[in-house]
Structure 1
Amino acid sequence: MLVTAVAGTAGVGKTALAVRWAHRVRDRFPDGQLYVDLHGYGPDRPVAPEDALAGFLRALGVDGGSIPPEPAERAARYRTLLDGRRVLVVLDNAHSAEQVRPLLPGSPTACAVITSRDALAGLVAREGAHRLTLDRLPPADARSLLRQLLGARATAAPAAVDALIERCARLPLALRITAELADRHEALELLDLDGDPYTAVRAVFSWSYQRLDPDVARVFRLFGVLPGHDADAHTLAAMAGTGPRSARHALETLLRAHLVDRIAPGRYQPHDLLRAYAAELAADPGHTAERATALTRLSRYYRAASAAALDAVAPYEKARRPAAPAWDGELPALASPEAARRWLDTERAGLLEATRHGPPELTRFLSDTLWRHLETGGYHDDSVTLHERALVLARESGDRLAEANALRQLSTALNRSGGDLHRAIALLRQALVRYEELGEPELRDASLVNLGNAYASLGDHFEALRQYRLAQEGGAGGWVLHRAALCNSGISLQLLGRYEEAAQAMRTALALCQEHGDRTNEGNILSGLAEVSLQLGEEDRAYEEARRALGLARETGYRLVESHALRVLGQLHERRAEPERALHHHIRAEAIAREVGDPGLIASALNSLAGARAVAGHPRQALREYAESIAVAVGSDHRDLLARAHAGIAEVHAGLGDRDSARAHWRQALTHCEALGLPETDRVRERLAQCGPEPATA
């Protein structure tokens, strides 16, 4: 592994050098490039190594549900994925050696380039990094740069150019900004620099800032208030109390003045030095009221826009979400699920950062609103962080209802993330106590359904059914809660082999969806019914239900259901001796499961895909996919899926004539099946017996 550390003062051009070099040598790294801005310096906290690793793992194709929770495990998975690959890793704006050390690839075929204001002596000493120190531009190069920027004016006034170069401390960033001001002769007469480069840079910034119209200057100051790193016109318009058109004009003016950069279409971000300067301006006592008003408006905007986005993504849950505050400004176009998801993905970091120091009502609102998007998007770290913050704030304020809600949401995040399911169950039981004390029967019954889901994830479907029954007996949640309990009961009944009961529960739930126009969950239930019909031998009915489920899933953007419906269609094609068509559906189902990031869905899809591989005559690939399913199931404590993966591996080994390996996996499958009371128990016991007795030992 080749490591190069590019060090130098702020504004000297470290990032520009690294990024330009990375573009020039792209063909040397055919397996790709990874980039992260570690925000090591500036008003924001540096990016934690574990968060950067999560981003890299996603970029390398790891779904959200399979990202290990522990930093050391993430680093190990990252290095394993890069082993043997020719990849360039750019770690920009690092704060320290400790921040970047877990992000180094480790493979001799990979290369890492790090930029930092720090000399990173630890990396040079321990990792053998080559350090390249960038000094400020030599006078000749600075003159050349100004000639490029100013043309004939620079040639005509060499003395003025030299004075300007020294006042800019020979920093490229300052020189580029000052070139915009070259027609202002007073720029050459300002400030005794006293040998302090940052004083020089601040002076240059002030020259550019003082030229701005008041409305544009205010937008620049708002970057010093913004919780996230970048923003669009709608966000800054909300903070400024103007319209997006006005904010967009201000941003384009700032862009021409080199005070912000356009980092993506419609999104802007200042250099960290400029961000720090904007924060200094915003913190001035003369702007105290402006700062407070901007943060208040931002909180209201984030709540209004998040609510509108979730109304488009999950309209069937609107009644269960908190009401958004009235908003007098313009919101982005969020009417379609696709546009809403794009906005939520783009703004996710800013929304989460706003909860770090924002008002408690914002954190509580986002905890109760964003959970669905964070869950389906596989952003499990963010989900746990958000709900943990909501829980702390609720306990600090003594708000017991907010505490109960945060407990419930946090437990759901832990369940979906494949985290500590036993902790999730404990949190839900605390929430149940709070709801009972507060007289909130509907929220209590919703928690019972969530509790059933947690037990189902553990593979304890008997206890899951008990919780679903208690939720239905409570009767406080109306048709929505009744539908959820029936649907989930049907899934557990099916997994216990009680197919007729499962079909009855699901058909009752389906009728509720059709009566109330809930097309999203209609697709969900049809997908479950298709699997039950298949197990009952009703192939034509199963095919029709799966096709209808797939159409509804794609119509409503319900990716989890799309994956499940494709998996059922794959199983149907297996029954019809169409292995290639079966594989096609299973491969697509597995890919979508990874995109969703639900570990239970991923393990199920991998089990089905591996089974189809074996039938199609690819046993070695089947073994690899079963092994991955085991890793996901163990990491998320899905014991029933673990049992089925071991049974699948045993079948493959038996087909290959490896009776010892088959026997070992049948035995593990039997242990889990017996403990959970799964319907496969008798068949697994029979297959184990067919392997014969254990070989004798000497």
Structure 2
Amino acid sequence: MDPVLVVQILGRLRVWRDGDEVDLGSQARRAVLGLLALTPDKPVRRHDLIDAMWGDDPPASAVNVLQTHVKHLRRTLEPGRPARAASVVLPSTGDGYRLHLAGGSVDVVRFRDLAAAAIRATANPSRAVELSGAALAQWHGRRVLSDVPLLTRLPAVTRLTDERRRLLAIHAELLINLGRAREVLTTLAEDADDHPLDESVHALLVRALAATGQRARAAETYRAMRDRLADELGVPPGVTLRSAYEQVGGAGPSRTPAAGATGPPGTRRAPVPRQLPAEVTDFAGRADELRQLDTAGPLILLCGTPGVGKTALAVCWAHRVRSRFPDGQLFVDLRGFDADRSVSAGDALALLLSMLGVPDGEIPTDPQHRMARFRSAVADRRLLILLDNAGSVEQIRPLLPGTASCTVVITSRAHLGGLAALHGARRVEINPLPVADAVGLLRRLIGDRVAAAPASAATLVEQCARLPLALRVAAELVVARPGRPLADLVAELADRQRRLDLLDLGDDPRAAVREVISWSYQRLPAVAATAFRRLGLLPAAVFDGHLLAVLTETKPANGHRLAGVLSQAHLVQATGDGRLTQHDLLRAYATELVHRIDTDDDRRATIGRLLDCYLAHARAATRLLYPSHVGQPADPCPTVGHPDGTATCTMADIATNIHAARTWLDSVRPALDGLGSAAVHHGFTAQAIGLALALQDYLTGGPHDGALAVQRHGLSAARAAGDRVAEATLLSNIGDIHRLLGQYGPAVEQHRRALAMHRTAGNDRGAARTLTRLGIVLERIGDHGAATRRHRQAVAVYRRLGDRTGEASALVNLANALSAGDRLDLAADALDRARDTFRDLDERVGEASALANLGEVLTRLGRYQLASTALNEALALFRRAGHRDGEATALSNLGTVNTHLGAFDTAVRQSRTALAIFQASGHQYGQASALNVLGSALLSMGSPAQARHHYAEALTIAQATGDTDEMARARAGIAMAQTSES
């Protein structure tokens, strides 16, 4: 099915494909599409396109450049089109191109169709006004292709704008005659502001104001237009404007061009204030936020983290809508987060009154009188008031008008909850830019260098936390280095702590990321400031109120309050699942502060509390998920904290709820390497060992790359502490992870060293577990006899110790070795015994492992229905436990069963899913196995070429890992596929 495209040109140029907005790329490319969209489904000659883009002086390469733009647009709009297939959306027509929107739409067509229908329906005013309103609603701005400056002066563009204005006049006339003039006041005011010398629109505005009871404003609008015509054109008002004035009760002679003063001295009004700052150049993104502002009401609060672009957004929107506010636009920078230069409410009122034309000598000195004078001055006037960088509700409250005729926009780093609760403010949260918008901003700032190095650009965007301020500073650094690749700056910014030094232009504190963040930090209460600094000691960016309590040695309830304080200051952000996070620039600043302000002893004590907290949680979670785990201490997990209950890590959920336990472990996984490293570095050997032992079973569920680091930190700590049993256990853990990564040589070496150490120490349980692990590796490399002996030894040791869980686990692994040696009946018997034991012990993962292996053995015995039943039971148990590698194993084995049963599509789907899971976890053995199963399914369904490809992939992986079984399967599969192809 062809994609559904929707194109918008009545305003900014925007395109959606199947509901998702499309990034069109460069201005030139946008211009080509805009030209074609002006006349959809009609051919546009190449000559006309070149003439519109380059005028009378096109470059010699114009045709080639145009063809390149069209090629890129085709790729963007039709990403699924085969390389040699003809374009459906942008087909070539003669010596040009055509925009074809089968099943899609372009707003200009809808506008013209509705406008024509409205004109035809003028005999029925109610129907006509409905249609004309619908036509005007197709416009999302007052200029066609407003963000494509190459096209703004094209005759086709100006014609469209004129069509809108003509329809607006009809629409306004209809509404005034129907007694609904209020509905069109804002739009008429905008059009009058855009066309200050157009008498017809001003006449309609005068009539509409009078029709809504605003006769004084209607007369004022007429007089202002009369004066403007006299001053700028030297002509009196025409018949249409005079007639409108007379209809609303106007009298007296019109001013003639030669007249002098407009009335007695002192009656002329002060100039309309136009105080908005200049628009930010290269503004990008924020379409959703701009839409929210359009409908937000008279009191709006933009809040967000430092550098996120609140002011730029507010100023951009204010310029877009300034015509709605004919009485003026005011701007005050309150500097609310600058402790030394913050503007008081009284001083802000004096500034606003001065902007409104009140002489300094008439501005009251008493704060209450000053506020009253301001509210009187703005009452019933249509003003836009932008209050930037507010620090508190108290700073803002006296500046709020008393009537709703004004719109007030406030920007702040704080939530200013009182404005919403007591004054009805609409809060608009400004978050870091989406990735596409951030890259788009960077493209606007540094041009083609983004396209030349897209990977570096993407990394730079993330290094800048997708904050517009940081991106603009980084762009200046790029522009200042014209001969150096973008990758050089990315490499310099890779060090998070150096990043703040680099993102500083030096000549303006507002263009220094560190300085901008510091203003928010300096306003924090002391305890919250301590919490923020010590977040710099966390090894990961995700945390919660409990950890804030640990950082500050306070009670959990206070930790949640601190989370609220930091969140309101936008120095942390909610993740949506009850936790908090920080972007890299905030983390870098926190790290810088904690090393500058906190003492070495304070930092070490804080890290110790963090490690205790993480270890307590890890033990609680893994005890629930893996009850047979031998790395757990025998005594109950202690409560972390002080005797008075401070800094306690509550563990009720993760100790009793499997989903909560799994979720917590997944959330802290990125922090584990850093935790282990910190524990070793600061001498917390018990915590480093404890984390490695507690987390082993969780880590073996994949992904495996990071698991080695955790175990190695534990091993270093065990050696430092002289704990030989822990050292042996951790060596074996490392061997197990090597095996999962397909690194069988190192795995055998580590297990043999661990086995010798356990036997020397007389640790039978450790020796039994290591025997099992060694047997698994030996079976993987094809030494089935040695593997069977090791497993039988392990079973015997566990039985002697009375460890039923250990015995059942050893039986599963013994069965695998027997199966690999083609002793299938013995293998099935061992697995039956293992399954029954695990079921008696209510150990779900163990039961699932036994069932998965039993399914594989039954498959080899040709008992496919029994195999399917066992494997589906295993799959359900693995999924319930969140054991991803186990889930993938069961799916892969089901793929084999369904291939034998002739359900090839199901087999392909299951093996592909298994492969994806194994790839995500880095499980090399599993990948080779799943690829072989996928190859078998594809070969059986008659796709030998695809099958051969997957068999070859399996062979490559198996050769890299030394997995002889999967190598043999892959070679046999390749041979069968080649035979089928010949």
TM (norm. structure 1) is 0.65
Change (3 A) 1:278 1:462: closer
* Correspondence 1:161-310 to 2 at 5 A: 169-171=509-511, 173=513, 204=519, 208-209=521-522, 211-262=523-574, 266-269=579-582, 272=585, 275-276=588-589, 279-281=592-594, 284=597, 290-310=602-622
- 1:456 aligns with 779
* Correspondence 1:107-118 to 2 at 5 A: none
Alpha-carbon deviation of 1:255?
A: 3.4
Distance 2:942 2:879 in 1: 31
Q: Does 1:417 align with 2:746?
A: no
User: What RMSD, in angstroms, separates the aligned Cα atoms of the two structures?
Assistant: 4.0
- 1:488 aligns with 813
Distance 2:658 2:785 in 1: 36
| CA shift digits 1:97-116 (9 cap, x unpaired) | xxxxxxxxxxxxxxxx9996
Distance 1:586 1:84 in 2: 36
Distance 1:597 1:130 in 2: 31
Change (3 A) 1:248 1:23: farther
- 2:714 aligns with 390
Distance 1:431 1:466 in 2: 18
Change (3 A) 1:618 1:123: farther
Structure 2 residue runs of 5 or longer lacking an equivalent are 1-24, 26-305, 313-430, 443-450, 465-470, 491-504, 642-647
- 1:408 aligns with 732
Answer yes or no: is the 8 Å Cα contact 1:222–1:282 preserved in 2. no
Alpha-carbon deviation of 1:414?
A: 1.0
Alpha-carbon deviation of 1:19?
A: 6.7
| Structure 1 letter corresponding to 2:712 | E
| Structure 2 letter corresponding to 1:411 | G
- 2:766 aligns with 443
- 1:23 aligns with 436
Distance 1:215 1:128 in 2: 41
| Structure 2 letter corresponding to 1:295 | I
Distance 2:832 2:974 in 1: 34
Distance 2:829 2:546 in 1: 49
Q: Percent identity?
A: 26
| CA shift digits 1:628-657 (9 cap, x unpaired) | 212221222212111111111111001112
Alpha-carbon deviation of 1:86?
A: 9.8
Alpha-carbon deviation of 1:172?
A: 5.8
Answer yes or no: is the 8 Å Cα contact 2:741–2:925 preserved in 1. no
SS of 1:555 mapped into structure 2: helix
- 1:361 aligns with 686
| CA shift digits 1:366-413 (9 cap, x unpaired) | 1111122222121x2321112222222322332212211221111111
- 2:668 aligns with 347
Between 507-516 and 118-127, the greater mean CA deviation after superposition: 118-127
Structure 1 residue runs of 5 or longer lacking an equivalent are 3-10, 30-81, 96-112, 133-164, 178-200, 658-698
- 2:794 aligns with 471
Q: Does 1:431 align with 2:744?
A: no
**Structure 2 residue corresponding to 1:90, chosen from 459, 478, 496:** 459
SS of 2:696 mapped into structure 1: helix
Q: How many residues align?
A: 515
- 1:78 aligns with none
Answer yes or no: is the 8 Å Cα contact 2:514–2:589 preserved in 1. no
**Structure 1 residue corresponding to 2:907, chosen from 582, 594, 597:** 582
- 2:649 aligns with 330
Q: Does 1:519 align with 2:844?
A: yes
Distance 1:403 1:129 in 2: 43
**Structure 2 residue corresponding to 1:317, chosen from 629, 649, 666:** 629
Distance 1:597 1:131 in 2: 31
| Structure 2 letter corresponding to 1:338 | H
- 2:857 aligns with 532
Change (3 A) 1:295 1:501: same
Alpha-carbon deviation of 1:353?
A: 0.7
* Correspondence 1:27-66 to 2 at 5 A: none
Between 241-250 and 362-371, the greater mean CA deviation after superposition: 241-250
SS of 1:326 mapped into structure 2: coil
Change (3 A) 1:621 1:360: same
Answer yes or no: is the 8 Å Cα contact 1:506–1:529 preserved in 2. yes
Distance 1:301 1:238 in 2: 8
| CA shift digits 1:197-225 (9 cap, x unpaired) | xxxx6xx46xx43x433332331232243
| CA shift digits 1:113-137 (9 cap, x unpaired) | 99969968999767576989xxxxx
Distance 1:397 1:257 in 2: 44
- 1:156 aligns with none
| CA shift digits 1:307-366 (9 cap, x unpaired) | 122123323426756764432523363243333233222212323212212211121111
Alpha-carbon deviation of 1:12?
A: 8.2
| Structure 1 letter corresponding to 2:649 | E
Answer yes or no: is the 8 Å Cα contact 1:94–1:116 preserved in 2. no
| CA shift digits 1:503-523 (9 cap, x unpaired) | 111112122222322232122
Change (3 A) 1:559 1:269: closer
Answer yes or no: is the 8 Å Cα contact 1:176–1:258 preserved in 2. no
Answer yes or no: is the 8 Å Cα contact 2:768–2:797 preserved in 1. yes
Distance 2:899 2:838 in 1: 30
- 2:826 aligns with 501
Distance 1:370 1:602 in 2: 24
SS of 1:315 mapped into structure 2: coil
Alpha-carbon deviation of 1:263?
A: 6.4
- 1:32 aligns with none
Change (3 A) 1:309 1:120: farther
SS of 1:577 mapped into structure 2: coil
| CA shift digits 1:32-53 (9 cap, x unpaired) | xxxxxxxxxxxxxxxxxxxxxx
Distance 1:87 1:638 in 2: 38
Q: Which has the higher helix share?
A: 1
SS of 1:223 mapped into structure 2: helix
| CA shift digits 1:261-309 (9 cap, x unpaired) | 5567522326647744665456547x56643442222111010111122
Answer yes or no: is the 8 Å Cα contact 2:741–2:923 preserved in 1. yes
Distance 1:280 1:599 in 2: 43
Q: Which has the larger radius of gyration?
A: 2
- 1:668 aligns with none
SS of 1:481 mapped into structure 2: helix
Change (3 A) 1:626 1:167: closer
Distance 2:570 2:912 in 1: 48
- 2:196 aligns with none
Higher relative contact order (CA 8 A, sep 6+): 1
| CA shift digits 1:416-453 (9 cap, x unpaired) | 1122x222211111111211121111101111111111
| CA shift digits 1:576-612 (9 cap, x unpaired) | 3332333333333333333444222221111011100
Change (3 A) 1:567 1:416: closer
